[in-house]
Copies of this chain bind each other. A is one copy, B any other.
């Protein structure tokens, strides 16, 4: 394992910053059993074939922001994406957002970094950018940037699903930034500085903090738990499965004739899922396990084995039904029920204080990367909304879909294949 502690240039006095990262891929980190905090802090290369933050082993903290573009100028949009690319690359190296840094510039000017990450290492920061439907056609149908004819067929607002109780102030957006790191202050610093750079060109539509990743995206990661107390992410698409990634995550060059620019990219579906955890906590253990279809302790399917054993959906149980109930979550969303469709999930638990009923405003900020949301996400979400016994304990309060452009090489900027 390669690892390095990378400190802000502001502290080191400039230069000499050590960077570790595998170009175009990822530097695998390992959080061993029982370690809730990563004991090694790495930096991940910003540039590569794909954007970082997708197959990158899931870091523990998230700051996600959705933004609306307020300018109508294509030149300004391109300049913004160029500036974002530079700043994101700097910050993922553990440097300040701009070349002068938080304290290195003129006393007469605002610093080009906000400073709260001075002295903090890179902390495994990844910054992943996405483009929403509104970038191609705004609410009035206008083609502000001359790219409407390159809008992917699959990049439409997600349909209304049964059980959706969406807050428009937590949904949609022309652009998104997914910042993940081992330290929330580093993730927040990244989003804040990118938003600051975009001043006058975008406004923040909504943002979401998350902790406690719910997914493993590498076979070396332990499966963490969601706020239902169950392991979440066992059957995820893993970084070490290149064929599965090519089939289920990365957009292919011929997937959409209008959107060849998205080849090597992906789609990011975000769903803010409130859990009624106070009600859940009053359910008997046996019922909780029946709803999920797995044991709470080890995460093994109720049909037997261990966590990574495939569930046996046909195994007969008592009372003329199967051991894994017809409406068990693990069955309803299983690839076998969806023509083999798999997602790369990368969600985070959240607690946003309390709700009006005195319960915790808490749940799962679900993020999935898929090659095509029409086959890889929407059918699964529909099945869940209609059949899943978990739905009684869920409320969907936010929703958004973004196209995630491919990674960038030296001298390129994110979105260049679309706008360059």
Chain A: residues with CB nearer than 8 A to chain B?
A: 5, 7, 10-11, 33-39, 41, 61, 63, 65, 102-103, 105-111, 113-121, 123, 182-186, 188, 192, 195-196, 199, 203-209, 211-212, 222, 224-230, 277-278, 281-286, 288-289, 295-297, 349, 351-354, 358-360, 362
**With A106-B285, A107-B285, A116-B227 given, can you name 5 additional A-B contacts, CB distance below 8 Å?**
A35-B121, A37-B39, A119-B222, A185-B212, A188-B227
Partner of A212, one of B116, B224, B277, B296: B116
CB of B110 within 8 A of CB of A283, answer yes
CB of B354 within 8 A of CB of A102, answer no
CB of A284 within 8 A of CB of B354, answer no
CB of A41 within 8 A of CB of B37, answer yes
CB of B115 within 8 A of CB of A296, answer yes
Once the chains are docked, how many angstroms separate the CA of A188 from the CA of B212?
10
Chain B residue with the shortest CB-CB distance to A94: B34
Which residues of the partner chain B approach A123 to less than 8 Å between Cβ atoms? 36-37
Q: Which 8 A-B pairs have the closest CB atoms?
A: A115-B229, A107-B286, A184-B211, A203-B358, A103-B297, A185-B212, A36-B183, A37-B37
* Given A184-B211, A227-B116, A360-B204, also A36-B106 (CB < 8 A): no
Which residues of the partner chain B approach A203 to less than 8 Å between Cβ atoms? 358
The contact sample of 16 A-B pairs, CB cut-off 8 A, is A11-B34, A36-B41, A36-B123, A37-B182, A102-B297, A103-B285, A103-B297, A107-B289, A109-B284, A118-B297, A185-B349, A188-B211, A204-B358, A205-B354, A209-B353, A352-B353
CB of B5 within 8 A of CB of A34, answer yes
How distant is A117 from chain B, measured CB to nearest CB, in Å?
8
Which residues of the partner chain B approach A105 to less than 8 Å between Cβ atoms? 285
CB of A296 within 8 A of CB of B5, answer no
Once the chains are docked, how many angstroms separate the CA of A90 from the CA of B159?
46
Once the chains are docked, how many angstroms separate the CA of A111 from the CA of B286?
9
* Given A283-B110, A284-B109, A286-B108, also A119-B34 (CB < 8 A): yes
Which residues of the partner chain B approach A188 to less than 8 Å between Cβ atoms? 211-212, 227, 349, 351, 362
Once the chains are docked, how many angstroms separate the CA of A227 from the CA of B105?
19
How distant is A161 from chain B, measured CB to nearest CB, in Å?
23
Partner of A281, one of B114, B121, B226: B114
Which residues of the partner chain B approach A192 to less than 8 Å between Cβ atoms? 227, 277, 281, 360, 362
Which residues of the partner chain B approach A184 to less than 8 Å between Cβ atoms? 184, 211-212
CB of B354 within 8 A of CB of A207, answer yes
